[in-house]
Amino acid sequence: MIKYKLWKPSEEVLCAPLLAMDTETELIVDHNIPDVVLLQVYDGKSVQLVNWQNIPAYLEECAVWNAEHVFIFHNAAYDLAVLGYPDFLIKAADKSRVVDTMFRFSLFKIAQKGFLTQRSLKFACKEMLEIDIEKEDDIRLTFSRAKEPNKSQLDYAALDPVHTYNLAAAIQAQPTEDIQVRGAIALDYISRIGMLIDETRRKELEEAFNKEIVTHLQVMEDNGYIPGESGNKKILQDYLYMLEKHYEIELPRTPKTKAIKTSDASMEELGEAYLKDRFLQAYKKYVHINKISKTYLKTSVIGSDGRVHTRFNPLVITGRTSSGGPNLQNLPKGEGIRGIFIPTPGYYFAAVDYSQIELCTLAQSIIKWQGKSVLADKINEGLDCHRYLASKVFKKDMKSITKKERGFAKIANFGYPGGLSAETFVPYAKGYGMDLTYAESKDLRDGWLKAFPEMKDYLNPERQPSNPSRYLGRTITGRLRANCVYTEACNNPFQGLAADGGKEALWNMFLQRIRMVDFIHDETLNEIKITNPKTITEEVEQIEDTMIKAMEKVVPDVAIRVESALMDRWYKEAEDQRDDNSYLKLWQPEGE
């Protein structure tokens, strides 16, 4: 058993180049930061346990004696939040002196294996240290400020900082791990603020959805399909099989069971028949609307404060973030869901969006690896890259390019860098509402390669030595992703770099305590206090400047630009609007 001691204010705090920290808290209730009960600190030799009453005094002393030292956590974002974001630990994170073994382990596994299953302390220690950690709920979930911890609780608490310390020592420092730590702290801060729900609008939308669901249910039940009852899968499969025979086609099957796939994309192979079939259209719309309603409109996703607190995953294998409970990074389009979110009374929403950021990070990556980039030159000149490409492809003056031609070029600029061929680009473009033939796609791709000749070398990613059928995905910040398929290896450099810059922006905004309420990959959604146009514009410009400077840390050679919009409700289509003094003004949908 590790040696530990309960710390008293009259005693010295631990002082060492590396200190591992952990906390035990009361139960988490409704997204609130739980009360901390115990702080545990390990210096490689012994553990100090600090009761909650003494934590402020301990941290004050720790800041003095460990001012330039490194602090190790497993899930630093959580521990720093429950400790009240101590200033010396925030400064340590800013200076890359906070190690989070959750991210060190995650980045190591992504670099070695190309995937990640779990990253809990228990799992990581089993993988790296070959030890089993007992996480007994009858101890872990019983800490309370109402009574002093007993010996079993103290024995349990003393071990976690030791495991964290040893885990950090067992894994070499990973590229960008400091960026992930800072991003996670900022994302946790965003989650805890949450987004306010307009309850009246939510109820109206829920009622409208319920009426539509009833309509679709009637059509489905007429065909014997009753959601929730057994036999539904067979009814749907029999119906699709009947259509196969009738139209003399073969629909896509699942690899294992050979059942007909029921995804929208699969059933679209029925063509016009699918669009006209009442049962299949009712089934499609029922599934879609029912999922949206359960995900966003049920009161169970709303906290007691009337706000939705999404949970961010700060690091997925691409280097980007994800969101759940509910997902506020990928909301359904055209269903009015964004409109149920409103700013806190007395505030506006200010959406600040990076302009064509993945083209910027693509260009920066090419400059790093090849020394120059036509794409970077055009961005720095302030040209519309989509219009420029269209002018090259369609051999027209840029001013003469039509909206449709620019649309084709825009999709090409975002599709072809990800390794799409002329053939695979056709369904990709269709997903964006653009229909084109293989010949048109080939001409578009050839024109893209001529417009940006550096792309030929870029589309030749490094093969994985241990498995030449796979590729390595790298970012110029040093992060590695193993076991990529070709398109993943092509996407990874610019997607991952944009994610790194975005997380740095979130961190700098967190340091300024800007009221961020959501992060959507290349956009921040913030609450700005309603004052006067001049002050509001200056505050938004401060956010813009912060986001640009943060991205410039990882993209120093390509011009970074942002666009902003003010809203009194969340609208995806909102744009920058100015008054006669060039101050930002509230964007409103037409007719309001």
Q: Where does residue 165 rank: exposed (0-12), middle (13-18), buried (19+ CB within 10 A)?
A: buried
493: tokens are 């450099």
> Taking all residues of the chain, what is their mean pLDDT, rounded to a whole number?
94
CA 127 to each of CA 120, 140, 316, 353: distance values in angstroms, whole numbers, following the listed order = 11, 22, 19, 40
Please state the three-class secondary structure of 427-448 as a single string: HHHHCCCCCCCHHHHHHHHHHH
- Res 355 pLDDT > 80: yes
Indicate the pLDDT class of residue 201, thresholds 50, 70 and 90.
Answer: very high
Query: DSSP string of 3-59?
Result: -EEE--TTSPPP--SEEEEEEEEPPP-TTPPPPEEEEEEE-SS-EEEEEGGGHHHHH
Question: Alpha-carbon distance 49 to 3, whole Å?
Answer: 11
Structure-token pair, residue 300: 């169970």
| CATH 3.30.70.370 domain span(s) along the chain | 312-373+481-592
Confidence at residue 98, expressed as pLDDT on a 0 to 100 scale: 98
Residue 431 pLDDT > 90: no
CA distance 19 to 44: 8
What angle do helix axes 177-193 and 486-511 make, rounded to 10 degrees? Answer: 60
| CA R_g for the chain | 27
511: left (phi over 0), alpha (psi -120 to 50) or beta: alpha
Segment holding 353, helix H or strand E: strand 347-354
pLDDT (average), residues 402-412: 89
Q: What are phi and psi of 212, to 5 degrees?
A: -65, -40
Q: Helical H runs in 223-323?
A: 232-247, 264-267, 272-276, 278-292
Architecture field, domain 4-174: 2-Layer Sandwich (3.30)
Q: Residue 48 carries which side chain, given as an amino acid letter?
A: Q
Please enumerate in sequence order all residues whose Cβ is within 8 A of that of 331, keeping only pairs 6 or more positions apart, or say none: 296, 337, 338, 572
Q: Where in the chain is the domain with CATH 1.20.1060.10?
A: 196-308
**Would you say domain 196-308 falls under CATH 1.10.10.10?**
no
The SS3 assignment for 321 reads coil
Tell the residue number behind the tokens 């009574």, with chain if given: 147
- Look up residue 256 and give its two tokens: 């294992």
* Helix, strand, coil fractions of the chain, as percent rounded to 5: 50, 15, 35
d(CA 203, CA 293): 11
pLDDT digits (tens, 9 = 90+) for 218-249: 999 999 999 888 888 899 999 999 988 888 88
Residue-wise pLDDT tens digits, 126-158: 999 999 998 777 898 999 999 999 999 999 999
Residue type, 73: F
- Give pLDDT tens digits for 1-26: 789 999 999 999 999 999 999 999 99
What contacts 581, CB < 8 A, 6 or more positions away? 533, 534
| H-only helix segments in 452-532 | 455-458, 486-511
- Enumerate residues 6+ apart whose C-beta is below 8 A from 388: 378, 398, 451
Residue with tokens 């009246």: 200
Which pLDDT band, with edges at 50, 70 and 90, does 591 fall under?
low
CA distance 451 to 461: 20
Whether the per-residue pLDDT at 592 is higher than 70: the answer is: no
Closest by Cα among 20, 11, 76, 73 to 46: 20
In this prediction, residue 546 carries a pLDDT of 98
For the chain, give every residue range classified as CATH 3.30.420.10. Answer: 4-174
Tokens describing residue 5? 């001691």
Q: How far apart are CA 120 and CA 106, in angstroms?
A: 10
Average pLDDT over residues 329-356: 94
Residue 455 neighbours by CB under 8 Å, 6+ apart:
416, 417, 448, 449
Q: With a cut of 90, say whether residue 250 has pLDDT above it.
A: no
Residue 481, helix vs strand vs coil: strand
Percent of the chain with pLDDT over 90: 84
312-373+481-592 placed in CATH 3.30.70.370: yes
Helix locations, 223-277, DSSP H? 232-247, 264-267, 272-276
Q: Tell how strand 311-313 and strand 307-308 pair up.
A: unpaired
Query: How would residue 102 be classed by pLDDT, with cut points 50, 70 and 90?
Result: very high
The contacts of residue 571 (CB under 8 Å, 6+ apart) are 338, 339, 587, 589
Q: What is the DSSP string of 163-187?
A: HHHHHHHHS---TTHHHHHHHHHHH
> Which pTM does this prediction carry?
0.94
**Token digits for 377?**
């030159």
For residue 422, what pLDDT band results from cuts at 50, 70 and 90?
very high
- Which residues have CB under 8 Å from 78's CB, separation 6+? 23, 188
What is the token pair recorded at 584?
Answer: 């930002």
The kind and range of the H/E element at 525 are strand 523-529
353 forms bridges with which residues in the sheet?
523, 563
